Amino acid sequence: MVFLKKILDMRRSARLGILLLIREQTRAVWSWNWLETVARNLRFSLRALRRTPGFTAIAVVVMALGIGANVALFTVVRGVLLKPLPFDDPDRLMMINEAGNHENDTAGFDLVSGGMYAEWKKENRSYSSIALTQSIRVGLSGSRGQLPEKVKSALFSWDMLHTLGVQHALGRDFTQADDSPSANGTVLLSWGLWKRRFGGDPAILNQTINLDAQPYTVIGVMPAWFDFPDPSTQLWTPVYYEKPEDTMTSFSNHIFSVVGRLKPGVSAAQGVADLSIISHRIHNAHLNLPFVFQSARSRPLLDHIVGNIKKPLYVLLEATCCLLLIACLNVANLLVARGRRGAGSWSFAPHRVADGCA
pTM score: 0.69
For residue 279, is it within any domain? Answer: yes
pLDDT band at 256 (very low <50, low <70, confident <90, very high): very high
N- to C-terminal Cα separation, the chain: 76
Instruction: Return the percentage of the chain with pLDDT > 70, whole number.
Output: 79
Residues pairing with 131 in the sheet = 259
Residues spanned by the domain of 254: 90-293
Of the two residues 330 and 348, the one the predictor is more confident about is 330
In the predicted model, what is the mean pLDDT of the chain? 83
The span from the CA of 19 to the CA of 15, in Å, is: 6
pLDDT in tens, 209-232: 999 999 999 999 999 999 999 889
Neighbour-count burial for 54-93, b at 16+ CB within 10 Å, e otherwise: ebeeebeebeeebeebbeebeeebeeeeeeebebeeeebb
Q: Distances in Å between the alpha carbon of 341 and those of 212, 335, 346?
A: 79, 10, 9
Q: pLDDT tens digits, residue range 90-108?
A: 899 999 999 875 545 544 4
Q: Is residue 202 part of a domain?
A: yes
Is pLDDT of 354 > 70? Answer: no
Mean pLDDT of 3-10: 58
311 lies in some domain: no
Q: What is the rounded distance in angstroms from the CA atom of residue 200 to the CA atom of residue 290?
A: 48
CA atoms within 13 A on the CB side of 305: 20
Q: Determine, yes or no, domain membership for 215.
A: yes
User: Diameter of the chain by CA atoms?
Assistant: 121
Give the chain's domain count.
Answer: 1
State the pLDDT at residue 353: 40
Q: Answer yes or no: is 249 within a domain.
A: yes
Report if residue 326 sits inside a domain. no
User: Is 124 part of a structural domain of the chain?
Assistant: yes
